[in-house]
Structure 1
Amino acid sequence: MLFLSRQTVRRHLSLYAGSFVALAVGVFLLGLAATATAATIAYRGPAADSIVVKLPNADPPTTARVLLSGEDASGLQVVLSMVGVISGFITIFVIASTFAFAVASRRREVGLLRLIGATPRQVKRMVLGEALFVAIVASVAGAVLAQLTTPLVLAKASYTELAPVKLEPASPWVPLAIAVGAGLVVAMLGARSAARRAGRVGAVDALREASLEPPQIGPVRITFGVLVLAGAIVLLALIRPGTGEAVMPLAMFTPMLLVVALTLLAPIVVPLIGRLWALPLVTWTRVSGRLARSNVIAAPRRSASLAAPMLGISAIAGSMVLTLSFAADASVATIRDTLRVPIVVTAPENSPQLSERILGTPGVAVADGAIPVGLIRTDRDTADLEEAEGIDPAVATQTRAITALKGDLGKLTGKTVAISKEAAGFGNYRVGDKISVTFTDRSSDQLEVVAVLKDAAEINPSFFVPAELARQHAPGAGPTRWFIQPAEGVDPTALTRALDERLAGTGADAVPAAEWQQAEGEGLRKGNQLGLILLLGPAALYSAIAIANTLLMGSLQRRHEFVTSRLLGATPAQIRRMVLWESSLVSAVALSLGTVITITVGLLIRHAMSVGLTDVPVTVPWGTLLSIGAVCVVLAIGAALLPTAVILRDSQPSAALQP
């Protein structure tokens, strides 16, 4: 059967070329993420800029090496992990659809094999052998391409915001083996269900319904679709206020589950929505629109396979774009609601002592200059470098809205710490608990939690310590920003100019708080754009290839249908219009479902992030969202019309009589 599988692949090169391209690109993306992640894991940093801390609560007790500068590749590592997850999901999604489409397109051939005596088991083995043959070649090709591209990617990623270090390629064997193995597993899983359906085809039924699809999907597929949809609804229910950093993973995984559920149920859902979209189309176009509607409804599996890539990328990309935009809106509102002063002074690191100059400026009533200090939490089985600030609670509470949800911030003296609600949730800390820490001066201590504070990450860090404790462990550190409260009756604009004159030559800059807030918001959006490019760029490219690939495969298998239509009197122009409306109809269905997912997830994310904030702005990146939809439609129409034009140019009505 393996020999027959190999011969079948060679005979259907145009059909399996799409599967090869889809799997090769998927393995390439997975391999690239894996090799780049291996490089970030292998990076150790300079020994002089690190500290080895003890982890007494680990089992067994051990030590951990932590970079003190914080300049490591952890940010890139997180992004690459998310890229791997998204790319892996898209790969599984596309490959399963592609192999199922390839096998379904050969239903007549499978029926003829059954007619001449092939057993269901032999048919299954043949289909799985075809998948294995394509998977081996495609996975190796994708892995080789990933290895060749890795040095270039690492060179571009080095010395960036996500990886401010020099990254070198690590040993590629393990990550590439994982990528190749994933490609093989995905291909076999994608072909398994199709092979099982092919094995159930009866000889007589295959001859009678060779060119028709089954009228309904099986109960197993419906059951799994409903179960996955229920799981997605549970994730939607979890997107609520207080979710914290878990909001971002939920914004990524919830659309994935919804896409899987709708794909499983697509043979039911696509025709229903297709009928609605076809109402104005039929009224406007009449014959060509009716034919397009009939094709979409009569071939639900094919329509679902064509809609799947567009549904996947529109839902996932749209949800991420909207989530990051709403996150930036919430951050801007948090800054505005937390900051109580009209003036902000920013200063470079290791700047001259500014305290006397600022406090000595006439008109300054309060100057809140927090002392940055690094500390390593070692009270669990991991060592995490945290950014903390040393403050005077009496001063800081006049310039910032620092709200104690539990405990008393006024007790922040001596060896104590106040932590954010999010940090308390992750570490399971309560007021009165002791946190084991190691400061960057290599001294260790235990700090008592005296307060749990409301989250305000853009203004307040996760950890506050007394100013005296910060000076003790970071004697050379100085504030990098000051929040200035003018005295009563003093004009903030005039005081800003006076501070600028007073701080001339120090590198510090005094700006109105509104201007500083705007700059912070723009910085957040710029960082979000970089994250979107890294997260969705590879997946969007792969999805574009998958959309074009699937539609090309579908169109190339319709040669007999097109020439038969010619025999019945249809002109090439009419057939092209039919294909145009059919691809447009499938695109409309897919983008409609993707839009519903995007809006649902986006609104829940916005509600979860904006509760407790006032006048949260609404920034919808219409340009990006519309571009996603426009690219999907253009690719769908172009990939459908191009092969149709080629088939019609080389075919005459008499070709319909050929086998």
Structure 2
Amino acid sequence: MFRTALRNVLAHKARLLMTVLAVMLGVAFVSGTLVFTNTLSNALQKSSAKGFDRVDVAVQPKWQKGSGDTVGKAPELTQALLDTSARVPGAASAVGVVNGFTAIADKDGKLIGGGFQSQGGNYWGTKDPRYPLVGGRAPSGEGEVLIDSTTAERAGYRVGDTVRISVDGPVLTPKVTGIFTTDDGNVAAGGSLALFDTATAQRLFGKPGTYDEIDVTAKSGVGQSALAAELDKALPADRAETVTGEKLAADQAEMITASMSGLKQGLLVFAGIALFVGTFIIANTFTMLVAQRTKELALLRAVGASRRQVTRSVLIEAFVVGTVAGVTGLVAGIGIGAGLRSLLGALGATVPDGPLVVSPDTVVAALVVGVVITMLAAWLPGRRAAKIPPVAAMSSLHAKATTRSLVLRNTIGALFSAAGVAVVLAATTMNGSDGQAPMGLGAVLLIIGVFVLTPLLSRPLIAATAPALRAFGVAGKLARQNSVRNPRRTAATASALMIGLTLITGMTVVAGSLQHSIDKMAAAAIKADYVVSMANGNSLSTDVDKKLKATAGVTATSPLRNAPSRIDGISEYLTGVDGSTIGELTALTLDSGAFEVGGTRVVVDDRTAKSHHWKAGSSFTVNYEDGKPQQLTVAGVYEATEMMRGIMLDNATLAPHQPDVTDMQVMVKTSGGASDATKDRLEKALGSNPGIKVQSKQDISNSIASMFTLVLNMLYGLLAMAVIVAVLGVVNTLAMSVFERSQEIGMLRAIGLDRRNIKRMVRLESLVISLFGGVLGIGLGVFFGWAAGELLGAKMTTYELVLPWARMALFLLLAATVGVLAALWPARRAARLNMLAAIKSE
């Protein structure tokens, strides 16, 4: 039986090629994902570890927790602590580290880096071992700066050039005195790094005479733990704590692994989808292969082969196919992993250098996935073939499925579908994340149920195409009859395409609805024409509001400030606003009371009011950041939005209790409304600062929506793999169907149907099957998109379902295109059959 199985594999090489390709693509996706994420994780970890090579022990501020109604804060690392650290036994040197946001503009005035990755720091002394100079000298004073070599290369800066830099408010134009190399992870991720001398960095970052961290290097022969122990003895325990360089590197590696885990899981989900779709194709292929060899298998049974041996012979074939697909998929996956790393570089993301990592786990996973998926898909056809009595098989009495089996299948499909719909509907009534798992379970049950029911659904849906197919004459009529001749095969072929289009349509519905909701959210929350903020989300200097107020055409501004506080022992953030103008700049719905902000009168959003049992007229005591209490009165309660919420009080009331007065945003209203000219005027008033964003309501919507668009486009690319596998399935089904119907096609040719109509028949059959899968996929996608939107609506009050009719029409056109393209080779093969040879074939 083993030799027989091997001969069958070799005898049907062409027929099994598509199956191998389907499995190979899924395996390649899995192994490529593992290679890519392992390679990227390894490179980032090694790059990060280099950054800690010169740090044996790091001294960090110890966060002091607040007691009672006092807000906690971190103590400062002073020069005295730095000097003490340098003198402890076992310490070779100690370096004070200062860092903060620093935006560097390119020669066109645009921000370099991604905002959050735009960093600045201090260069220690005349030769800092952390940042080796590749040209120039150390900086001295506010008029000089060092920049990293990657940023210098991207922007075309050289030693001696003047560069525009923003730290906190005013724009600086220092001279580049040197260029350095660095292993900093932010730079590796596409950011930038600027270095000033220590005194200048402390002044610019608002930390005069203090440091963010103290890095201590051990003397030769002194271990990191021993040095940390000495530092713990010498430094005040309530102000500083020590962390070894090994611990820092391990924590960083763990963070990188955790961040890569999310990416890996996301990619593997789509690899699983491709394999799931491929499973239908494999099962379909083996079903047809077994059907074509029914008489051969019956003869084996007649000469003494047992049912188990027949099933085993089919599984051996599947094992060989799976092994070949697993090996080729692994090789292709290594190429995909290398390609993804190169693609990141081409898209502008800086990836640290490192070897391509092909771990033993990746090799095992590729082979196991290839073999197990193929054998599982082939088991049912093999078992079904073994159960056919030899005499019935040789007489072809087994050809049609029994009524009992169809009733059982339809009953199971109906139960799964009903359960899936019920679970999804139940999940939509839950709160946010609580409904995610049930909705995922319901989606799986519904897809399985629809797949099982697809043979039943195929007849009425395909019958609906009869009027359109009549226009093609005999070829159209034959195509429709061929499509419903074997409902199970049609179902398996259409289901592969259905799953891909279900996911694509569902994501498109959610993304389109989110875009509409974001636009509505921005319009509903604020009346301001512009919102001004820092590119990295940090605080703005109060000078920004002053400059904006003095700008021609500005009619009202309000800085927004965040400040921690404690109310009834609970931490609450306060939002400081300009009480005299905030009403002109926001469009909030008032539930009760009056929208009055000033003195001790505040407004509170409905959720906060409910949690504290407040209403209009209620009084409460707030303990500010400096620990001082004050009684405030709720003037009004407003409906919270995604953009505006919390306790709003006047900045004049809040400012005396803030150690450092800074703004998070400034809302601006102008006489002429939002326009390019007005935006340009505001940017120039702020000194064309690369670190400051001036955004209209539409800009805010677009920036949020761009993230969804980027993710959506990535998901489209990933799901294209599932669609490609589905195309292979259609090609495979049609090719084998043509082989099965060789005698029939020969007879059609003999009685007058020409080659052109034979091709048309096969193409129309493929088109009908693909459109059937497309209609099911789009229908399920809309349902799942609506259900996911119901979950989002619980968190986003402005969420509203929007159906992208144009996109859905495009997806249906895509399904039709898949059908036409997939039929090219099978149709050509059918038309070229020799009619006499075909009539004589069995």
Q: So what's the TM-score if we normalise by structure 2?
A: 0.60
Residues 1:596 and 2:596 are matched in the alignment:
no
Which of 547, 551, 555 is the aligned partner of 1:357?
A: 547
Q: How far did residue 332 of structure 1 move? A: 2.0
Which of 439, 447, 455 is the aligned partner of 1:267?
A: 455
Q: How far did residue 125 of structure 1 move? A: 0.6
Matched-pair contact (CA < 8 Å) for 1:390–1:466: no
Distance 1:293 1:649 in 2: 22
Structure having the higher helix fraction is 1
Residues 1:643 and 2:643 are matched in the alignment:
no
Q: Which amino acid aligns with 1:368?
A: P
Q: Which residue of 1 aligns with 2:296?
A: 112
Q: Which amino acid aligns with 2:469?
A: L
Which of 727, 736, 740 is the aligned partner of 1:544?
A: 727
Change (3 A) 1:204 1:170: same
Q: Which residue of 2 aligns with 1:338?
A: 525
Q: How far did residue 16 of structure 1 move? A: 1.3
Matched-pair contact (CA < 8 Å) for 1:79–1:534: no
Q: How far did residue 338 of structure 1 move? A: 2.3
Q: Which amino acid aligns with 1:100?
A: N
Q: Which amino acid aligns with 1:516?
A: D
Matched-pair contact (CA < 8 Å) for 1:33–1:83: yes
Q: Which residue of 1 aligns with 2:559?
A: 368
SS of alignment partner, residue 482 of structure 1: strand
Which of 268, 277, 301 is the aligned partner of 1:93?
A: 277
1:141-220 correspondence to structure 2 within 5 Å: 141-157=328-344, 166=352, 168=354, 169-209=356-396, 212-216=399-403, 217=405
SS of alignment partner, residue 483 of structure 1: strand
Distance 2:367 2:12 in 1: 24
Matched-pair contact (CA < 8 Å) for 1:108–1:210: no
Matched-pair contact (CA < 8 Å) for 1:52–1:66: no
Change (3 A) 1:267 1:98: same
Distance 1:465 1:144 in 2: 63
Q: Which amino acid aligns with 2:18?
A: G
Distance 1:250 1:614 in 2: 24
Residues 1:566 and 2:749 are matched in the alignment:
yes
SS of alignment partner, residue 580 of structure 1: helix
Distance 2:667 2:790 in 1: 30
Q: Which residue of 2 aligns with 1:527?
A: 710
Q: Which residue of 1 aligns with 2:509?
A: 322
Q: Which residue of 1 aligns with 2:668?
A: 484
Matched-pair contact (CA < 8 Å) for 1:139–1:183: yes
CA deviations on 1:603-657 (whole Å, 9 max, x unpaired) are 44455546775696947262x4444333332332333342232243241235312
Q: How far did residue 271 of structure 1 move? A: 1.9
Distance 1:471 1:175 in 2: 60
Matched-pair contact (CA < 8 Å) for 1:96–1:186: no
Q: Which residue of 1 aligns with 2:18?
A: 18
Structure number with higher relative contact order (C-alpha < 8 Å, ≥ 6 residues apart): 1
Distance 2:35 2:338 in 1: 10
Q: Which amino acid aligns with 1:596?
A: G
Distance 1:506 1:249 in 2: 46
Change (3 A) 1:104 1:539: closer
Distance 1:145 1:463 in 2: 57
Q: Which amino acid aligns with 1:653?
A: L
Change (3 A) 1:155 1:75: farther
Change (3 A) 1:127 1:498: closer
State the structure with more CA Rg. 2
Which of 662, 678, 699 is the aligned partner of 1:516?
A: 699
Change (3 A) 1:280 1:179: same
Q: So what's the TM-score if we normalise by structure 1?
A: 0.75
Structure 1: gaps of 5 or more residues: 55-62, 374-387, 411-417, 425-429, 433-451
Q: Which residue of 2 aligns with 1:292?
A: 479
Distance 1:256 1:462 in 2: 39
Q: Which amino acid aligns with 1:531?
A: M
Distance 2:3 2:656 in 1: 76
Distance 2:661 2:314 in 1: 69
Q: Which amino acid aligns with 1:154?
A: R
Matched-pair contact (CA < 8 Å) for 1:289–1:581: yes
Matched-pair contact (CA < 8 Å) for 1:564–1:656: yes
SS of alignment partner, residue 293 of structure 2: helix
- What number of residue pairs does the alignment pair up? 597
Q: Which residue of 2 aligns with 1:46?
A: 48
Distance 2:22 2:646 in 1: 44
How much is the aligned-residue C-alpha RMSD, in angstroms? 4.9
Q: Which residue of 1 aligns with 2:421?
A: 233
Q: Which residue of 2 aligns with 1:83?
A: 267
Q: Which residue of 2 aligns with 1:103?
A: 287
SS of alignment partner, residue 118 of structure 1: coil
Q: Which residue of 2 aligns with 1:504?
A: 687
Change (3 A) 1:246 1:67: farther
Change (3 A) 1:242 1:260: closer
Which of 805, 815, 818 is the aligned partner of 1:632?
A: 815
Distance 2:400 2:468 in 1: 26
SS of alignment partner, residue 185 of structure 1: helix
Change (3 A) 1:138 1:500: closer
Q: Which residue of 2 aligns with 1:586?
A: 769
Q: Which residue of 1 aligns with 2:319?
A: 132
